[in-house]
Amino acid sequence: MDDELSMYLSRVGLTFPGLETTIDSSDYVFFGVPFDSSSSAFPGSRYGPKAIRDVIQGMELWSEYFGVDLEEMRVYDAGDLAVSHGDAVATANMLKRAVQKITSLGKIPIMIGGEHTFTPFAALAAGADSLIVLDAHADCRKDYLGNPLSHACATRIWVDSGGKRTFQIGIRATSREERDYCKEKGIIQFSPFQLQSDSFMKSLTDFVRKSRSLYLSIDMDAFDPSYAPGVGTPEPFGISPIDVLRIFEAISGANLVGFDVMELCPLRDPSYSSSALAAKLVMELYASKKARLTRSGGGVRSHRALSHWQ
Ligand code: MN
Ligand code: MN
């Protein structure tokens, strides 16, 4: 838009992160999946994409942890997926086509949910061989209330569809059936109570090193509800946002083929604190990759993170 005109008028419909970008000049394509039909406790995650776009408009585009200025974030907001409410199969098929297209353009998809059910479809369409999931729940039920396309089945769909390697962080709410399944399938799991141990970071870096193509998924209920009350199925004793910055740092060298932040439920988030955290996750993930590139390019080590794990 004309510079002077844009002083008086702004386009209706906010984008993430509110910068003027084109898809050609971007490395990442951001999009929403406003679908929450299988939400079992509290629905409303369909409003997640809208909330994250709203809240980012008032936030500074700067990463203090990684020392990266995000004013020139190469992220293009492509809008929301044309979901078919109540029809997870049709929506998953649409999603697969969208992700395949984004990947074929050489861009990395960033998906915002919406329910967690769609993560395995995005990860497989992006060509991932490895999945790291932050979640309170194992999401490994065969079905939930008779529905095999439930958000309670997301990680199991990935494994049963050929997803090879799985690493779960923050797990603390599982059924006996899920615990047996995860053991049988060799899914690596760390609870929030184990994240300060040396074995966690060693296992994570080892998993990343052996990944050819990595997809990272964050279910917002991985966080303690004191940090992120705006979720459909809150679980106490969760992880902290600082834990996630250290995890981003540890996986920043991976070949990341996709990233998502799911289960943000703005109807349970009157303060917008959970939405702000979700927006920050996208920014900090971007910053972690940027800081890594700067370092490997021989530039000054720009981030100031002093993780004792590294
Ligand atoms: Mn989940
Ligand atoms: Mn969950």
pLDDT score, position 304: 43
pLDDT of 15 above 60: yes
CA of 134 to the centre of ligand 2 (A): 8
pLDDT score, position 301: 41
pLDDT of 102 above 70: yes
Q: Given pLDDT bands bounded at 50, 70 and 90, which one contains residue 298?
A: very low
CA of 106 to the centre of ligand 2 (A): 30
Of 202, 139, 203, 204, nearest to 172 (Cα)?
139
For ligand 1, a single-atom ion, the residues with CB < 5 A are 116, 135, 139, 219
Residue scoring higher pLDDT (171 or 302): 171
pLDDT score, position 6: 76
pLDDT score, position 140: 98
CA of 220 to the centre of ligand 2 (A): 7
pLDDT of 296 above 80: no
pLDDT of 310 above 80: no
**For the chain, what percent of residues have pLDDT higher than 70?**
95
pLDDT of 303 above 50: no
Ligand nearest to the CA of 133: 1
CA of 205 to the centre of ligand 1 (A): 23
CA of 177 to the centre of ligand 2 (A): 16
Ligand nearest to the CA of 155: 1
pLDDT score, position 297: 65
Share the mean pLDDT of the chain.
Answer: 93
Residue scoring higher pLDDT (89 or 305): 89
Domains contained in the chain, CATH given: 5-295 (3.40.800.10)
CA of 101 to the centre of ligand 2 (A): 28
pLDDT score, position 41: 84
Ligand nearest to the CA of 140: 1
Task: Give this prediction's pTM.
Answer: 0.93
pLDDT score, position 72: 87
pLDDT of 21 above 90: no
Residues 22-80 pLDDT 10s: 999 999 999 999 999 988 789 999 999 999 999 999 999 999 999 999 998 999 999 99
pLDDT score, position 18: 87
CA of 19 to the centre of ligand 1 (A): 30
CA of 117 to the centre of ligand 1 (A): 8
Q: Given pLDDT bands bounded at 50, 70 and 90, which one contains residue 1?
A: low
- The Cα 92–Cα 37 span in angstroms is 13
